[in-house]
Amino acid sequence: MSTTIAFLGCGSMSEAIMAGLLRSGFPAGQVRATVRTTARAAWLADTYGVTATATEDADANVRAATGAGLVVLGVKPGLVREVAVEIAPVLAPDTVVVSVAGAVPLASIEAVLPGGQPVVRSMPNTPARVGYGVTALVAGAHATPPHLQAVKDVFATVGLVVEVDEDQIDAVGAVSGSGPAYVFYLAEAMAGAGGRLGLPADLARTLAAHTVAGAGRLLDDPDADPAALRRAVSSPNGSTERAIAAFEERGMRDIVAAGTAAAEARAKEITRELVLLDL
């Protein structure tokens, strides 16, 4: 497989993946990127030393994909098939096509690519920007273990990588894909609660943010057990135990379960909407 990697559509998520790849020592000269504007292309080229082209040039995606060993489709979900159709004629048989777009099934992408083209679906999350991401990968019908390993190697530069079946991907998205937003929401709520207790807003926000970040570092230990960590902070009959009891009484676990179920359901709805558009 060629070691050239093309990022077709290089927004914040694809940029995070590309940056992690470059930090790992991958040569910038073997990375190509396409973006919508010449200003963004110039910025990527200046910042990372990669070859970046604006799609204002109609052939930008085709040129970037030609000869690439791995092509990352980082465009919006509604454009994934369009871009796949565009680059299909120039893909080598062994080029791995990777989608980072949520809600686009593997079969939908495979249907517009040459027969036997290896495709991998991914579900990264935003902490990839700081090297603490979680990415779930789903191998397509023609993606062999070496193909999947090549994709793993790329995403491992920005965090943990797991393999799942495609029928699990919406549940994964509901937990880890959307999960950072849940944590940020908790930090917002903690800061707001601190304000109601009389703390200055800036102080409450700082305390909440650093507490959440620090707790996350404790959870980063492979042997960490969230329940055990919680119990370690909750002295019998103490203030923390009383707070947890209040959360439990108000159905905190059910609230979280309802939120993740809603996220999963919406992901499935979006997939159906995209499939209908493709008919």
Per-residue pLDDT tens digits for 138-172: 999 999 999 999 999 999 999 999 999 999 999 99
Please state the rounded mean pLDDT for residues 170-188.
Answer: 97
What pLDDT, on a 0 to 100 scale, did the predictor assign at position 279?
Answer: 55
Is 3.40.50.720 the CATH number for 5-164?
yes
* pLDDT tens-digit map of 28-66: 999 999 999 999 999 999 999 999 999 999 999 999 999
Where along the chain do the CATH 1.10.3730.10 domains lie?
179-259
Flag whether pLDDT at 277 surpasses 80: no
Please state the rounded mean pLDDT for residues 201-212.
Answer: 98
What CATH superfamily classification does 179-259 receive? ProC C-terminal domain-like (1.10.3730.10)
What pLDDT, on a 0 to 100 scale, did the predictor assign at position 278?
Answer: 66
* pLDDT tens-digit map of 83-133: 999 999 999 999 999 999 989 999 999 999 999 999 999 999 999 999 999
Please state the rounded mean pLDDT for residues 175-190.
Answer: 98
Where along the chain do the CATH 3.40.50.720 domains lie?
5-164
Using a pLDDT cut of 90, give the percent of the chain over it.
96
Mean pLDDT value across the chain? 96
User: What are the residues whose beta carbons fall under 8 Å from the beta carbon of 139, sequence distance 6 or more?
Assistant: 120, 147, 148, 163
Flag whether pLDDT at 2 surpasses 80: no
Please state the rounded mean pLDDT for residues 9-31.
Answer: 96
- pLDDT class for 3, splitting at 50, 70, 90? confident
- pLDDT class for 254, splitting at 50, 70, 90? very high
CA 101 – CA 246 distance, rounded (Å): 39
What pLDDT, on a 0 to 100 scale, did the predictor assign at position 60?
Answer: 98
- pLDDT class for 1, splitting at 50, 70, 90? very low
Flag whether pLDDT at 276 surpasses 90: no
- pLDDT class for 275, splitting at 50, 70, 90? confident
